[in-house]
Structures are given as C-alpha cells and as structure tokens.
Amino acid sequence: MKTLPPGSTLGILGGGQLARMTAMAAARLGYKTHIYTRSADEPACQITPWRTLGDFGDHKKLEFFATNVDVITLEWENVPAAAVATVERHAPCYPKSSVLHIAQNRLLEKSFARELGLLTPEFRAVHSAVELRSALDALKLPCIAKTTRMGYDGKGQVVIRKAEETENVWKALKTDEAIVEALVPFEQEISVITARRADGLMRSYPPVENRHKNAILDETHVPANISEEVRKQALHMAETLCEKLEVVGLLAVEMFVVNGKVLMNEMAPRPHNSGHWSIDGATTSQFEQLLRAICGLPLGDAHALFPCVMKNLIGHESGNWRDYLSMPGAHLHLYGKREARDGRKMGHVTIRNRKGEMEG
C-alpha cells in the first residue's frame, strides 16, 4: 500500500476536540493539518494555522480544501454524503462513503451486524405511530425508540415504558423513520476501538468499560472488568465489523454485556470518547493510530500500559482543573472551548490507578 510520509498534509472535516487531538498527534509525527470547519473559534483551529472556514454545503470551499491536502479524515460520521463525495474527487477520504452510508444510520448498522451473525438487541424499523405501537407489542415494554440518523450523547432517543406514550413519543422524535429496540438489562457497557489499514492489517485496543451519566459518557475504566470469553467476543465483534466494512482508519464499537454475551449497540468510524485514555495510557494513542492507518504507516502498539480511568469534564466540571492537576497520576486535557454549558464536553482527565477506580 502507498505510504504518505511525514511532511504531508492531513485534512480534517470538522474542528472540534477530536480534530484538535488528531492534529496534535499529526504534528508530533511531522504532518501538517488543514481543518475544514465553520468557525475559527473551534478547538482544532487553536492547534494549526491552516484552515478553511465554511459549511458542508459550500462545495467550492470544500473543493479548495480538498485540493490543498494529501489525505482527508472526519471527526464525525454525520458529515453529509454530498460533502464527502465532493472532497473524495480530489483526495483520498477515510472513512469512505460506503462506510458512512451504514454508520450514519442506526437501522442499517444493526441490520449489517445481524447479517454478519453478530448479536444485537431485538429491533424493528418504524415509520409511523401505528407501526411504533405494533413494534412495542412485538418487542414487549420497556423499549427505546431512536431516530435512525444524527444520534449521539443520548440525543434522538426516548425510552418508552407505557404503550399510551406512543403518540407523544412519535411526535417527539420528529422523524419519518425510527428504530425501536428492546431495552436491554445489560450488566456492563463496553467498547472496542479497532484500527485497520487499506491492506487489511488490524490492531485493536483492549475492551474498556463505559459508565454514563445523563446519557453522556462520564467515565471509561481501563481495562474492562470482564471474563476472557467476553473479551474474545468483544474483539471478534469489533474486528469482524471493521473487516467487513473495509474500514481504513478507526472503528469504535459500543456493546452491551448480557449474561455472558456481547450485543452490538452502536458504532462510529472515527476516534471515540472511550478511547481518550490511550493518549496517556497506551504506547500509541487512538489519534496517532488513525494517522498511521490512513497514511499507510506501521500500526502502533495498542495495549494498555497500566490500569486507568478516563473521566469526562462536562460543563462546569472543567472549573475543577486545579484539583485534577494536584492529583497524583492525573493527566489533564482541556479542549480550549470558550463557554462551559450543561452537557458540553470541555475536557477530560486520565488517572493512573492500579485499582481501576477513581480516587479523590
């Protein structure tokens, strides 16, 4: 496969914290980074002077951006297909359109996993309140209804506990297509991030356990406290999806552990919040691994160097930065966002801890 050497320019669609941390990893290896984003106030724009400001519907600006970089990646899988098609005409873009077609749609990704023989929660596609009611009868309450597109950090989903809620839930979703899933009584939520090069070489990070608060990731515990059999199932699921989708770059797969079985929840073909620990807790961070994968470089070691906990700093939690700086074994990362708001990811802290629990 072709190798893109240091000194080349990486283009990133998006300017948030994932783009910022990717640009930092790129600079460390001698690559330049060009950001395409709407505002110069975005976190990634503080890291690199090269940026094109525009929205994803401005195809002239997208073309200018794409002709000034050597390879392109995305910080978010929900970039419009037309925007990806525009940049793909001028430079290699990873993940490819074929991957995004599935990853942008919760129904398609669940169906794809099922076709591969992987376990998922029971689900139904619905297109009206009437179909939603039928799905609830088939799946049995409680259930969770989700929009098929644009869902992240708990957005675009509603838990249904009573059939009488059907009409209100359908109106609240504001969509013409949704997926309804049986609510899984899971014991743990885990995730695996797998890197893959164009030649098929893959390398996975260890499964980690994720704990959420208000539907937003709060803590990631490394490694996950799971059995060897569950670990094998999780790695098999992530690597099977990565291979069959022919991902070039990263694929993060969120999973439920239920009675010793692993069920696929969602996936994202990009760096993932549950992989931020790897900056301080692995030889190769997920951001550097992404760069290695799309540039045809050797993939790095993905083992955890020590047990650790990554905690997101949500909203005004970032105001406690002094406390984290004084904590032994803590590595603080602030994203440079101007305004702290409820539910907004302002930074994270990774704490080395042999017990696998947060201290302080």
pLDDT at 274: 98
Q: Is the pLDDT of residue 77 over 50?
A: yes
- Does the pLDDT value for residue 67 go beyond 90? yes
pLDDT at 156: 82
Report the SS3 class of residue 40. Answer: coil
In the predicted model, is pLDDT for residue 31 greater than 50? yes
What is the separation of C-alpha 33 from the centre of its chain, rounded to a whole number of angstroms? 20
pLDDT recorded at residue 256: 98
- Say if residue 140's pLDDT is above 70: yes
Position 27 pLDDT exceeds 70: yes
d(CA 103, CA 81): 12
188-352: CATH superfamily: ATP-grasp fold, B domain (3.30.470.20)
CATH number belonging to domain 9-94 = 3.40.50.20
Q: Which residue has the higher pLDDT, 81 or 357?
A: 81
For position 288, what pLDDT does the model report?
A: 99
Contacts of 283 (CB under 8 A, 6+ apart): 300, 301, 302, 303, 305
Distance CA 274, CA 183 (A): 22
pLDDT at residue 354 above 80? Answer: no
What one-character DSSP code corresponds to residue 282?
Answer: B
Start and end residues for every CATH 3.30.1490.20 domain found in the chain: 122-182
Nearest Cα residue to 276 out of 252, 299, 293: 252
Question: Which amino acid type is present at position 39?
Answer: S
Q: Is the CATH number of domain 122-182 1.10.10.10?
A: no
Estimate to the nearest angstrom the gap between the alpha carbon of 68 and the chain centroid: 26
pLDDT tens profile 96-118: 999 999 999 999 999 999 999 99
State pTM to two decimals: 0.95
pLDDT in tens, 207-243: 999 999 988 999 999 999 999 999 999 999 999 999 9
Q: What's the length of the chain?
A: 360
Nearest to 284 by CA among 273, 297, 267: 297
Q: Is 150:78 a contact under the CB 8 Å cutoff?
A: yes
What pLDDT score was predicted for residue 358? 46
How, if at all, do strands 261-268 and 345-352 pair?
unpaired
The pLDDT of residue 151 = 67
Token digits of residue 144: 């969770």
β-pair type (71-74, 9-13): parallel
Of 206, 239, 236, nearest to 222 by C-alpha is 206
Q: At residue 313, does pLDDT exceed 60?
A: yes
Mean pLDDT to the nearest integer, 124-138: 94
Give the up-direction half-sphere exposure of residue 58: CA atoms within 13 A in the CB hemisphere: 13
pLDDT band at 353 (very low <50, low <70, confident <90, very high): confident
Please state the φ and ψ torsions of residue 220, each to the nearest 5 degrees.
Answer: -120, 125
Geometric angle at alpha carbon 144, from 140 and 150, rounded to 5°:
150
CA distance 101 to 146: 18
**For 255-281, what is the mean pLDDT?**
98
Query: What six digits make up the tokens of 300?
Result: 């790095």
As a whole number, mean pLDDT of residues 178-198 equals 97
> Alpha-carbon distance 153 to 116, whole Å?
26
| CA–CA separation, 266 and 120 (whole Å) | 9
Percent of the chain with pLDDT over 90: 92
Tell the burial category of 192 from Cβ atoms under 10 Å away from its Cβ (0-12, 13-18, 19+).
Answer: buried
CATH 3.40.50.20, the chain: domain bounds: 9-94
Angle at 321 between CA 320 and CA 327, to 5 degrees: 100
User: What band does 359 get if pLDDT is binned at 50, 70 and 90?
Assistant: very low
> What integer is the mean pLDDT of 30-56?
97
